[in-house]
Structure 1
Amino acid sequence: MNQQQILDQLKQNGNTHIKFAFADIDGILRGKVIHLKKFEAGLSQGYGFCDVVFGWDSQDQGYDNTSFTGWHTGYPDKPCRIDLSTFRTIPWQNDMPFFLADFSGEGNENVPCPRTLLKKIAAECEAMGFHPEFAQEFEWFNFSETSRSLEQKKFTNIEPLTQGMYGYSILRPSQQNSYYYDLVNLLTQFDIPIEGLHTETGPGVYEAAIIHDHVLAAADKAALLKNSVKEIASMYGIMASFMAKWSEKLPGCSGHIHQSLWSADKATNLFYDEADELNMSELMKHYVAGQLYCLPHLIPMYAPTVNSYKRLVEGAWAPTTITWGVDNRTTSLRVLNHAPEYTRLETRIPGADSNPYLALAASLASGLYGIKHKLPLALPPVSGNGYTHKSNGNIPGNLYEAAMTMKNSAIAKELFGSAFTEHFTNTRIWEWRQFSQHVTDWELKRYFEII
């Protein structure tokens, strides 16, 4: 639909307001509801939005270590632009018209907007003659809690929606039948088509896979899925959490990325080669080699929180080494190669807490780096336990180490520019500082009496 068709439809439907949102540096959707007249006027001029949304953290605390915006700039407005191609209606909110937005275009050259960054990487890919096809899948835990109950309980004795370890259960979803099928049906109506939804191992945990799409549309759907699941869950008195690791006693929550490059007409999967022993084309081998080479420089874009690294431990269904393998779930990169239409790479480092725009941008940019430089896939595939293959390096053990590596990385600056790399890594260092200043329950229990 073009601009006029959308406006005509909104007016014919009697819509007086629309909702729009964009993702901040943490992947959290920020936005507002505006009148149809303001929506129409802003289509040509943009919508002024306070740039504090890229100058504060997930708790709305302003960064003191970034230069993009702050008290020193007065937190001015930046022109936010709605992408009309993202038009959909929200079925659980009386079909409210909804759009995604970003901070692309003139005047926004230095705005650290995640969606704008991914658009730039996608354009580079298409200029090379490739169509990038992506999908991100998520695991998350569901709890019989609300934000009020958690605050009253001080985040202790949190009650999962169901009990016990019961992966791929038919029984557990039937016990929450209305919620389970509302997830499938409402998300699909909201143009987030669900390929599969099932329980994972753990009390109250679900996993959803989204049908693959162009990389930008895939990131849009991933970002919307996380927010939409929370909204739908809240209608049932349920809280959905996409934390990477909410309990050290349970598996973490992943946000794996599936990706392939196709011909510009989308007719041929360029990753597949029937003549190759592993059915991998030279293009795919360069792509995998690029990801392996760039991984140490980009980890915070896959694992952006302090909590992310609690998931990346041995024996917890998450990788710890810079490795690849064919259909191997213990490596960082998993190649799936059983048929031309399904041959793809799965990047397994991202957790459910990742910002989809940044995680997909990191995957695509690093794969393209391997193609541009024709990097050979010299590292052999791992067959067996990838946790024991440490010769090519390990994933950093905490956010500070990963952020400092990326901050000082020439590779990161080449892929994403110095301004974005500086701003993003400083926000991760800020996140580490907030954690480091906090006294945890673990410290109290360990040191209060005995030390």
Structure 2
Amino acid sequence: MNQQQILDYLAQKDIRHIKFAFADIDGILRGKVIHAQKFIDGLEQGYGFCDVVFGWDSSDMAYDNVDVTGWHTGYPDKSCRIDLSTFRTIPWQNNIPFFMADFSGEGNEGVPCPRTLLKNIAQQCADMGYHPEFAQEFEWFNFSETPKSLAQKSYVNPEPLTPGMFGYSILRSSQQSEFYYDLLNLLEQFNIPLEGLHTETGPGVYEAAIIHDYALAAADKAALLKNAVKEIASKHGITASFMAKWTETLPGCSGHVHQSLWSLDKSTNLFYDENNALHMSDLMKHYLAGQLYCLPHILPLYAPTINSYKRLVEGAWAPTTITWGIDNRTTALRVLNSSHKSTRIETRIPGADTNPYLAISAALASGLYGIKNKLPLNIQPVKGNGYLDKSNGSLAPNLLEAANTMKASPIANELFGESFTQHFANTRIWEWRQFSKQITDWELKRYFEII
């Protein structure tokens, strides 16, 4: 719908309120429900929002190591602008109109808005003559818990929705059919169509693959899917967790990013070359080389939390080395090359805990870097176990090391701008500092009595 059609819709339906949201630096949706008249009044100039939303962490604790906002700036309002192209209604909330928003436009220079970052990178891609097509897929655990019951048991021993290791199970999804079909049908109505939804290996694990779309729309759908799944699950007395790895004894939860570049009219997959032995065009090889080259410099965008690195361990269906391969699930980058329509790259580092705007920004910007610089694909594809091939390096083992590398990297500054890079890296260093102060259950069990 265009602006007039949306205004007509609100008037015809006598709609009094709308909801909008944007993603903060962690990918958490922040937003408001506002009166329809306030919505109309703010379409041109935006809606004032305290910029603390980019100055605090996931627990609303204010950073003390960032420049863009803080006590030193007085936490002023910034203008949040609604993107009318994202209009949809929320079927499980009385079909209230909903929009995505961001902090783009005049007056918002320097605001570290993830959606704005991706908009700018996608525009760079278009300016180079390419249409970026993306999709993110997610695994997550479902628990027969509520936020209250989890807090009462201090998040220890949550009860999975279903027992046992039962990937691709028709039985388990049928045993929770009301929840399962609510996910399928309500997400479809919410304009997040799924290519597939199934159980993964592990108790209570689901995996959803979103149908591919233009990079920005794909990120919108990915960010909204995570929040929507949590809301739909809550209606069934279920808590859905997108934590990268909630227990050592089970596989983690991925958030793989699939991507390809097409002609601007979307008729030709520019990654595909039927005359090449691997069906990979030179453009695809440059793009792939760019991702491999930039990976150590931008890892926190793919692995943004302390917990992310608990998933990135050998033999746990997540990569640990700077590698690629043809349909190889042990490498960091997996090339799928079966046809013109489906040839793409799967970036396998991201977990379900990623901010979709930042994970997709990282993949696209680093791929474009390879194209701009015509980087040769000198790394050979891995055949067999990618965990064993450390000839091109391994991923950083923890968030602090990865964040410090990004903070000092001229490559990251070039890809995302110095202001954003420094802000984001500092937020990850803050995250490490908060973790480092904590006394864990492991420490208590290991040292309390015996040491």
Normalising to structure 2: TM-score of the pair?
Answer: 1.00
Residues 303-342 of structure 1: pairs in structure 2 closer than 5 A: 303-342=303-342
* 1:291 matched residue in structure 2: 291
Aligned Cα RMSD in Å? Answer: 0.4
* 1:241 matched residue in structure 2: 241
* 2:274 matched residue in structure 1: 274
* 1:15 matched residue in structure 2: 15
State the SS of the aligned residue for 1:197.
Answer: strand
* 1:79 matched residue in structure 2: 79
* 1:158 matched residue in structure 2: 158
In 2, distance between residues paired with 1:68 and 1:380? 42
* 1:196 matched residue in structure 2: 196
* 2:128 matched residue in structure 1: 128
* 2:448 matched residue in structure 1: 448
* 1:169 matched residue in structure 2: 169
Q: CA deviation at 1:45?
A: 1.1
* 1:301 matched residue in structure 2: 301
Q: Does 1:5 align with 2:5?
A: yes
Once the two structures are superposed, residues 89-116 of structure 1 have per-residue CA deviations (whole angstroms, 9 ceiling, x without a partner) of: 0000000000000000001110000000
* 1:265 matched residue in structure 2: 265
Structure 2 spans left out of the alignment, 5+ residues: none
* 2:68 matched residue in structure 1: 68
Once the two structures are superposed, residues 142-170 of structure 1 have per-residue CA deviations (whole angstroms, 9 ceiling, x without a partner) of: 00001000111111121000010000000
State the one-letter code of the partner of 2:378: A
Once the two structures are superposed, residues 294-313 of structure 1 have per-residue CA deviations (whole angstroms, 9 ceiling, x without a partner) of: 00000000000000000000
Give % identity: 78
In 1, distance between residues paired with 2:215 and 2:45? 27
In 2, distance between residues paired with 1:341 and 1:155? 44
Q: Does 1:185 align with 2:185?
A: yes
Q: Does 1:58 align with 2:70?
A: no
In 1, distance between residues paired with 2:156 and 2:30? 28
In 1, distance between residues paired with 2:157 and 2:28? 26
Q: CA deviation at 1:429?
A: 0.3
State the one-letter code of the partner of 1:225: L
Once the two structures are superposed, residues 46-91 of structure 1 have per-residue CA deviations (whole angstroms, 9 ceiling, x without a partner) of: 1000000000000000000011111111110000000000000000
State the one-letter code of the partner of 1:283: L
* 2:396 matched residue in structure 1: 396
Q: Does 1:212 align with 2:212?
A: yes
Once the two structures are superposed, residues 198-219 of structure 1 have per-residue CA deviations (whole angstroms, 9 ceiling, x without a partner) of: 0000000000000000000000
Tell me which stretches of 4 or more aligned residues in structure 1 moved more than 3 Å.
none
State the one-letter code of the partner of 2:382: V
State the SS of the aligned residue for 1:43.
Answer: coil
* 2:142 matched residue in structure 1: 142
In 2, distance between residues paired with 1:358 and 1:74? 27
Once the two structures are superposed, residues 305-346 of structure 1 have per-residue CA deviations (whole angstroms, 9 ceiling, x without a partner) of: 000000000000000000000000000000000011000000
Q: CA deviation at 1:4?
A: 1.2
State the one-letter code of the partner of 1:383: K
State the one-letter code of the partner of 2:278: L
Once the two structures are superposed, residues 403-434 of structure 1 have per-residue CA deviations (whole angstroms, 9 ceiling, x without a partner) of: 00000000000000110001000000000000
State the SS of the aligned residue for 1:315.
Answer: coil
Q: Does 1:119 align with 2:119?
A: yes
* 1:361 matched residue in structure 2: 361
Once the two structures are superposed, residues 22-58 of structure 1 have per-residue CA deviations (whole angstroms, 9 ceiling, x without a partner) of: 0000000000000011000000111000000000000
Q: CA deviation at 1:19?
A: 0.1
State the one-letter code of the partner of 2:333: L
Q: CA deviation at 1:228?
A: 0.1
* 2:345 matched residue in structure 1: 345
State the one-letter code of the partner of 1:350: P
* 1:374 matched residue in structure 2: 374
In 1, distance between residues paired with 2:426 and 2:174? 45
Residues 434-445 of structure 1: pairs in structure 2 closer than 5 A: 434-445=434-445
State the SS of the aligned residue for 1:334.
Answer: strand
* 2:252 matched residue in structure 1: 252
Q: CA deviation at 1:450?
A: 1.4
State the one-letter code of the partner of 1:448: F
* 2:104 matched residue in structure 1: 104
Q: Does 1:408 align with 2:404?
A: no
Q: CA deviation at 1:367?
A: 0.2
Q: CA deviation at 1:5?
A: 1.0
In 1, distance between residues paired with 2:63 and 2:110? 17
Aligned residues: 451
Q: CA deviation at 1:11?
A: 1.1
